[in-house]
């Protein structure tokens, strides 16, 4: 008995960014994940399908993460340039502190 063909399901992994001060962006990665057939598949084939699906998901997540990092880095540079322009070039940016606190909210102490 032949195995029924599997039709790939169309799935999309999407990251969306919104900000009050920067342009929003959305990055999507399409996945072709095999859908299980109605025919009871042997366990080994089901296992291989899961492995294939998770592999595609991991690859898509890595691709999206790289694209998001690139977009956020560009927005950080835009923010720095905007701040520099608004303060007439008087801003001193501590790149080491920026890198250390990247992605975290920093509350400055007023001692």
Compute the average pLDDT of residues 50-77: 92
Is the model's pLDDT at 2 over the cut of 90? Answer: no
Is the model's pLDDT at 64 over the cut of 50? Answer: yes
Q: Which helix (H) or strand (E) holds 98?
A: helix 95-100
Residue of 91 and 32 predicted with greater confidence: 32
Q: How far apart are CA 11 and CA 103, in angstroms?
A: 28
pLDDT value of position 3: 47
Q: Please say whether the beta carbons of 60 and 29 come within 8 A.
A: yes
Model confidence, pTM: 0.63
Least confident of 44-58, 77-91, 94-108: 94-108
How many Å from the N-terminal Cα to the C-terminal Cα in the chain? Answer: 78
pLDDT value of position 60: 94
Q: Which of 58, 90, 72 is nearest to 27 (CA)?
A: 72
Where do runs of H (alpha helix) occur along 6-94? Answer: 43-86
Is the model's pLDDT at 30 over the cut of 80? Answer: yes
Q: How far apart are CA 6 and CA 35, in angstroms?
A: 6
Q: Which of 75, 86, 80, 81 is nearest to 22 (CA)?
A: 75
Going by pLDDT thresholds of 50, 70 and 90, the confidence category of residue 52 is confident
SS3 8: strand
């Amino acid at each position: 008995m032949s195995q029924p063909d599997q039709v790939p399901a169309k799935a999309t992994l999407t990251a969306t960014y919104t900000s009050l001060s920067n342009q929003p962006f959305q990055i999507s990665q399409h996945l072709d994940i095999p859908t299980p057939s109605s025919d009871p598949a042997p366990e080994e084939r089901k296992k291989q399908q899961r492995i294939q699906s998770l592999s595609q998901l991991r690859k898509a997540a890595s691709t999206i993460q790289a694209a998001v990092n690139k977009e956020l880095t560009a927005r950080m540079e835009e923010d720095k340039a905007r701040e520099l322009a608004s303060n007439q070039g008087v801003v001193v940016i501590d790149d080491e502190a920026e890198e250390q606190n990247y992605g975290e909210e920093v509350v400055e102490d007023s001692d």
